[in-house]
Every structure is written in C-alpha cells, then in structure tokens.
Amino acid sequence: MAKNLVIVESPAKARTIEKFLNKDFKVKSSFGHIRDLPKKGLNIDIEHNFEPKYEISTDKKKIVKELKEAAKGSEVWLASDEDREGEAIAWHLTQALKLDPKSTKRIVFHEITKPAIERAISNPRTVDLKLVEAQQARRILDRLVGYELSPVLWKKVQGGLSAGRVQSVAVRLVVERERDIKSFEAESSFKVIGEFEADKQKFNAELSTRLGDKESTISWLNSLNDSKYKIIKLEKKPSTRNPSAPFTTSTLQQEASRRLGFSVRQTMTVAQRLYESGHITYMRTDSTILSDIALSAAESMIKKSYGADYYKKRQYKTKQQSAQEAHEAIRPTDFNKRSAGADSNQERLYDLIWRRTVASQMSSSSFERTEATIEISNKPEVFLAKGEILKFEGFMKAYGGTKDDVILPGLISGQSLDVLGITATETFSRPPARYSEATLVRKLEELGIGRPSTYAPTISTIQTRGYVEKTDLEGKEREINELKLINGEVKETKTQAITGADKSKLIPTGVAEVVTDFLVKYFPSIVDYDFTAKVEADFDNIAEGKQTWEQMIASFYKDFHPLVIQSEEVSRSEVSKARELGSDPKSGEMIYARFGRYGPMLLKGATEDTEKKPLFAPMPSGKTLETVTLEDALEMFKLPRLVGKTEDGQEIKANIGRFGPYIQIDKTFVSIKPIDPNVITLEEALDLYQKKLEKDAAKNIQEFSKSGIKILNGPYGPYITDGKKNARIAKEIDPAKITESEAKKLLSKAPAKSRRFKRKKATTK
C-alpha cells in the first residue's frame, strides 16, 4: 500500500498528477463534491444558527468507501482546486473520511506541472476554514432563496420555475434591456462622404457632423454648387496601441465567444480539460497577475521567437481587489509549447490563451496617424480625412489585429482640392444591443454580481428554466435614402437594407417578464443590483475573517423571510399582468391579455363571474402581452375552427394549444406548424392527418386491447407501456413475438415514471 494518498476532485487531474509523483504516492479522485445538502427539503436548521445538514450523496457512497479503504495506513493529502469550492471539497472529505481538518495536509497549485506539484508537496498547509465558511455561506443563502422563493413562483406564476440570487438578477438584466429596445425610437440622419482628388489620387473624407432630414439634406447639398475646398489643417502624429491583460475567467469567456464562437459553458468545459491535462493554469480566476516564473519564461520565448524589440515586461492591476478565487491569470504552463489539446476545440482555445498571454508581455503596436481638415468655402462644416499607417506590429505580431493601412495621398496644408462627388446616406440611430452570453458575463462582472465560477452555470440555468432563449434574429427590411451630388445635380436613390439582424442573442420569454416584475415589486432586495453585489462582498469578508457566516445569513434572512410571508397575500390575477384589450362586439364581454399557468394567453369574461365561466384562447404567434391587439384577440376566439370532415365523416378542427397550432380528429392531435389554424385548408389538413396515421402505424408493434398494454417503437428502440410505466425490451428479444403475459411481467419490474416537477412545501420556522 502506498504511504501517501493524494485526493483530487477529477479523474483526469488524478491521472496527470500521478505522472509527477513517485511510487510512494497514490492519487485518487472524489469525482467532485462527495457531501452536500440533500436535494429534497430545506435541510438548514433556521432556529439553530442556520446549521446545514449535509449528507453523502447516494452516488458517492461507494467512492467514499473506497477512499476510506485507501486512506488506511496512509498519509492523506487533499489536493482539490485552490478556490473556495475546492476548499469546501477538501473540508467535506475530512468530514466523510473522519480526518482532522486542523492536521490533515492540504496542498494547492495553480498549474498541474511537475515543479508546481513538487513545490506544493514541499509546502503543505491545512484546510482554510474561513474559505470553507465563505463557500458554505453562499450555499446556504442560495438554498434559502431557492427553497422559499421558488414555491412562491409556482403558486403565483407557474410550476417548474426557480429563483436564485444571481440568476434572477441576470434575467432582470435581459428583460430590462429588451424593454429598452422595444421603447427605443430610431432617429434618422444623413452621413455625408465627399470624394476628393489631389494630384490625380482619390480619397474620401467624412463631414464632421450628421445632417437632419431628407429635405434639409437636399437643400444643403444643392448649396455646395459654388463651393471651393481647401486643406486648412494637416496633422501627422504617432499613436500606439497597447496589448490587453492576460485572461481572467470572464475575459476568456468573452473573447472565446467573439473569436471562436464558443458558448460560455463550452469555454469553461474546454478550459477545464486543458487545465486537467497540465496545459494551462487554473481557469477560474479574476486576477490578471502573472507570476515571476511566468514573466521570465515569457521574456525568454518572446526574445527568442520575435526579437528583443518585441519584448516589454508588463504587470497588470486586477480590477477585483479581493481576487479571491485564484492568484494568477489564465496562461500556458509552458510558453514554448505552441500547440496543445486533445481535440480541435482544445487546440483553438489553447492557441487563444497562448497568444493573449504572450501578447501581454510584448511591445506596443505603433502607427502614424494623419488627419486632414478640409474647409468648405461657404459652409461652417468641414470634412475630415483620416489615414493610418502601421509602423511597428509589436504585440499584434502574436495576437493579431487590424493591419490594413489607410493611406492618404501626399497632402499639403493650404492645398486646394477637386471634388468628384458628395454622397449623403441615410442612417438610423441604434437601440441598445441585446445581450449575448459573453456581454451578459461582462455586465455581471461590471456590477460585481457573481464570481468566475458562477457565470457559466447561471447563464445555462436561465436558459434551461425557460426564462431566456438564445436565438438568431432575422432583422427587418428598411428603406434607405441615398442622395448624390454629381456635376451640380442631386440624384436620389432608394435601397433596401436589413436592420436588427444578429446571431446568438439572449431574448427574454413572457414568463421572464412576469417573474421579473413580480420580484422587483415584492422581493426588491433579491433582484437589486447593489444588494446582490454587496452579498459578494460579504462572502469576501467571511473568507478574510472580517465577518462570521452565521451573522451574514441571519442579517439576510430577517429581511428576506417576511417578504415571503407577505407575498402569500398577492393574488394570482395581479401577478398575471392582465391588460384590457377591449370589448367583444358581439357579447360585450371584456377581453384581457394576461399571463396564465402555461404562459401568455387571452381571456374573455371576468374570472369573478361565477355564473358564467370565462373563455380562454392562446396568444397569437409573434405577439406579446404588450403588443397583442383586440383585433388579434377576436381572431383567436374564433378557434377552434371547423376545417371540414374526413371521408368517414369525422370533423377536423383547427386550434392552437400549449405546443403550437394543431388539428384534431376525434382523439388524434396533429401538429400543423407553421401553418396558421385560421387559414389551413381541408387538403392540407387531410395530408397531415394521413402522414400522422402512417407514422403511428410504423410506431405500433403490438397492442393488447384488454389490458391497454402497447409495444411501441421509440427513439431509443422498442419498449412496452401501459401509460403509467415503460419497460425496455432487450435487443435479443423480438418485440413482435412478446405475449401479453410476458409484457405484464416486464412492466411489473419496471420503475414508475417520475414526475417532472415536484412541488415542495416551504417551511416557515
């Protein structure tokens, strides 16, 4: 048995580390956290200082048993990641393995290389309980918010929703940005470009100001017929461009999105693999600092590969003063290793990290910029011509960047110019840009909300929970006016341009708007930007020993819990944001647009009217609570629409349901997406119905009418079902030959279907 047992949280990390240690060391993995708060129930003793009730996860009991066996007679070294989460994993290991956290050896390293591991082994410490308490405070606070607030959303909005300290703020940001965009009114103006000639060389210059409407722009252009043009000022000055700092977690996520098209989660997954393989340093950090060893290695590589002129030592200041997650920027562990990674994505991300880190220690790029100011003899406005010539690539040699020279002809101050034509093109002011995953990360970081380890799971959660959708925007066609002054005459042309098109933008759903408005009104502290940032500062204070976690949680809970109690009095109709659209011309009943259990919908009649039940209709496609009109609603209340009948006389009805437009024949439902149920023809309906019957026939293998048991073809192969339970069929069994008794026997051994969402009853201690 090995004298020393090293425990890490990842099998890949274990394999890499074991290569660097001698036979006296055995490295094993805990496969992440081995203890946590149970998924069911609050499991926090509110009355006794918010004491958490941890348990060993069911899927980790075997691993804990194996680790206990391996630890017998061995010195245990806890080598989980160096951030708070890693510290918590180490502490939970001491509890599960019955080790003393005050004496068990704890080692940390920022990179998985032989020198780093050997240094860590030579300088062990013990578990930092203050870091553990900071992580525990985050875990408990988030459990309190989720456990007490989520059931409120189930009751007041719809089932299956969740709320969270960081995720709810992220959703609010997306919702408010979308509303800013919708309320934005674009203003048009004209950008004017003059084409000039000097010494038979053509160049362009832009008017120093934008012009107003079309009529005034035409008038302005016509007034130029007698104008003369002269250079009244010519400036040539050097300029420089400096490299950016090495990557932090958030800047890596942003740049990988911009340059590689990676999602935030994809970036972190790929970076994790590179770290565990020993290619890069730890990838969860808000520090931009490079170690002395890294600085020295970068200097040597740059001078050797590019020359001494390209090297400049730089150390960057970290924006987050606490920088608690790690103590160095993300960088390669070996600057001489130009390429690394087990697949193309790893290779691409490694290349980006390598180039960014190397560029951060290189000289500035230098340019010569020229600006010519061109006077219009009879106008106060001037034209500006700008040129730029790259003189020295500097860091751009490694990182890339704009290298195209914009060269102006040899101009002289006081020189007269010939004008070849002047073009005024209509432009429109742009609304605020929608968030992408990367820009949302940047905004959260700017506000001090969350930490490097929270960004990827937060953005993933708000999408999987249905608050936000990542989508491509097609844009809309807009008419653009272009006015050209040529040979003393203004000619007008119109072109069509697509505006608003974009890729992979975050769009809030209807439920996101309802939930955000509800939380802002009744739980303002949870979605307040300053409050959420303050909570992060409180976690930092706990990690630094300036505050106890019990005090911090108690202070939060005494303000939070009363809000949960008060929210019980809020009516569902108030939360639903009911908006009056107008009266039905036939019945006189009021029609409302409101949010229901399954999303936005339409309602005719008052819900308080006990004598007559209100009528409900789905929201028209492409409409929202704010944009739907009475005319839209009246069309929807015409549904279901009788399209016609089948050959055997069954009625075909068209309608819209939770999952979109459909037709119904007896008990058979057929999706008709993207056809509008108000316009679908009988021929189209019959064709879709026939295809549905053919698909169902291919799906059904056997059916036992007495028991209701069916044998069906599913996406993962044939299976048996009675509507309540499903049973898989082994590959060697022919599903067409299974008898009814055999089917019943297989079903009896199958597990019952689990409910997708289980409501939890909130405790109010």
Give the active site residues.
282
**Three-class SS of 476-505:** EEEEEEEEEEECCEEEEEEEEEEECCEEEE
Give how far the C-alpha of residue 306 lies from the chain's centroid of Cα atoms, to the nearest Å. 38
Give how far the C-alpha of residue 326 lies from the chain's centroid of Cα atoms, to the nearest Å. 23
Closest CA to 591 of 622, 639, 634, 640: 634
Q: Name the residue with tokens 């609050």.
A: 42
Q: Buried b vs exposed e over 585-598: b needs ≥16 C-beta within 10 Å?
A: eeeebbbbbbbbee
Adjacent-strand bridge partners of 583 = 590
Adjacent-strand bridge partners of 671 = 662
Give the pair of three-digit tokens for residue 396: 């751009």
Q: Which amino acid is at 653?
A: K
Distance separating alpha carbons of residues 103 and 117, to the nearest angstrom: 20
Give the pair of three-digit tokens for residue 507: 């769009």
**Three-class SS of 314-383:** CCCCCCCCCCCCCCCCECECCCCCCCCCCCHHHHHHHHHHHHHHHHCCECCEEEEEEEEEEEECCCCCEE
DSSP state of 752: B
Tell the burial category of 329 from Cβ atoms under 10 Å away from its Cβ (0-12, 13-18, 19+).
buried
Adjacent-strand bridge partners of 383 = 207, 374
CA distances from 68 to 10, 33, 167, 271 (A): 17, 15, 37, 31
Cβ(314)–Cβ(243) below 8 Å: yes
Distance separating alpha carbons of residues 736 and 705, to the nearest angstrom: 15
Closest CA to 510 of 593, 454, 582, 452: 593
Q: Which amino acid is at 195?
A: E
Distance separating alpha carbons of residues 103 and 95, to the nearest angstrom: 13
Strand 502-508 to 489-499 pairing: unpaired
Give the pair of three-digit tokens for residue 555: 């202070």
Cβ(455)–Cβ(263) below 8 Å: no
